[in-house]
Amino acid sequence: MEGALMTDSLPMPMVSPEWVEEHLREPGLSIIDASWYLPVQGRDAEQEYEQAHIPGAVFFDQDLVVEPGIDLPHAMPSPGHFAQHLGSMGISVHDNIVVYDGPGFFSAPRVWWMLRAMGAKTVAILAGGMDGWKNAGREITSEPTKVAPCLFETEFDENAVVTLDEMKTISGSGDVVVVDARPHGRFTGEEPEPREGMRSGHIPGSLNVPFLDLAEDGRLKNAHALKALFEDVGVPTDRPLVTSCGSGVTAAALLLALEEAGYRNIRLYDGSWSEWGGRSDTDVETGPASNLQK
């Protein structure tokens, strides 16, 4: 059903749990559990969804909704493949879509970004996530969500995704600035990558804004605080930006935070460090960010 059926427009890019609770059963609202965790976190996203989810929510498996045959984690699927999965979940491109994850601001932005790139216009992330929702005593259920499959009509924005060939041109040029969301130790090369076979370090000329600095208690920091954070790192306002991370997940969180802080012309390197650091034909820098973009 189309989002226009709702009485109130969906607040974006972050929506409060109070708003979701108020509109929970209104036609036109679709809710997606986009939880995903690193192995070291010791959490099973699908199992947690089956045990407790927001009523009406469907589970988006970020290891399943990927492009088949690509040996990279979380490879952006083709529009047809994405549409097949979303349609089977009963999600329409015209819906008002709320995406959440467990801690609140980790994996949900990845699906938020994918949906926008595929043509969805009204997509927001639940502030505080499922952990915050449960801690506040809001309604949860273990009942399977009844799904009516539909057609998800994609309108794919190819410009949203940066390819490896583009990154080789961008790297170190100074014309386009790469901002990396990985923890600082991995960015500098002082800490090893969690994936076997990955080199340590960063794409030449990159800046580093660890995604953990973007939120507090599962909620994105306000625009003023984010702007100050990015200015302190030296993220320029007069050049195009590309976000990157380990596998393309927290790069989306960084992209959202940059937009909220007023930055524009931002794209996402989908292969991220899993692709760049796993190859032998790409240049790698170690140590702190250079002063090239400052």
Query: Could you please report the per-residue DSSP string of 142-169?
Result: -SPPP-----------GGGEE-HHHHHH
Residue 236 in domain = yes
Q: Specify whether the CB–CB gap between 176 and 107 falls below 8 A.
A: no
Average pLDDT, the chain: 94
Higher per-residue pLDDT: 256 or 38: 256
Residue 292 has pLDDT above 70, yes or no: no
**Residue 294 belongs to some domain of the structure:** no
The answer, yes or no, to whether residue 3 has pLDDT greater than 50, is: no
- Angstrom distance (rounded) from CA 173 to CA 166: 11
39 and 7 within one domain = yes
- pLDDT for 1 equals 35
Does 75 share its domain with 134?
A: yes
Structural domain contains residue 35? yes
Last residue of a domain, one of 120, 137, 156: 156
Considering the candidates 178, 245, 249, 257, report the single residue annotated as catalytic.
245
- Residue 241 in domain: yes
> At 179, which CATH number?
3.40.250.10
| Boundary-marking domain end, from 156, 184, 215 | 156
284 is a domain residue: no
Judge whether 150 counts as a catalytic residue. no
- Helix, strand, coil % over all residues of the chain, rounded to 5: 30, 15, 55
Mean local confidence (pLDDT), 75-86? 97
Of 156, 185, 209, the one marking the end of a domain is 156
286 within domain boundaries: no
In a domain, 285, yes or no: no
242 - beta bridge partners?
178, 267
pLDDT of residue 172: 80
Burial class (CB in 10 A: 0-12, 13-18, 19+), 211: buried
Residues 37 and 177 in one domain: no
Does 202 map to a domain? yes
Residues 129 and 22 in one domain: yes
pLDDT of 196 reads 82
Tens digits of residue pLDDT in 86-102? 999 999 999 999 999 99
Residue 130 and residue 83 share a domain = yes
Q: Cis before residue 13, ω within 30 degrees of 0?
A: yes
Share of the chain above pLDDT 70, in %: 96
Structural domain that includes position 13: 3-156
Query: Residue 194 corresponds to which amino acid?
Result: P
Q: Are 14 and 152 found together in one domain?
A: yes
191 and 250 housed in the same domain: yes
What is the reported pLDDT for 6? 56
> In total, how many domains does the chain have?
2
Q: What is the reported pLDDT for 173?
A: 87
As a whole number, mean pLDDT of residues 201-212 equals 96
Per-residue confidence at 40, pLDDT binned at 50, 70, 90?
confident
- Same domain for 13 and 133? yes
| 152, 164: one domain | no
Considering the domain architecture, whether residues 108 and 191 belong to the same structural domain is answered as no
Same domain, 174 and 239: yes
Are 80 and 119 contained in the same domain? yes
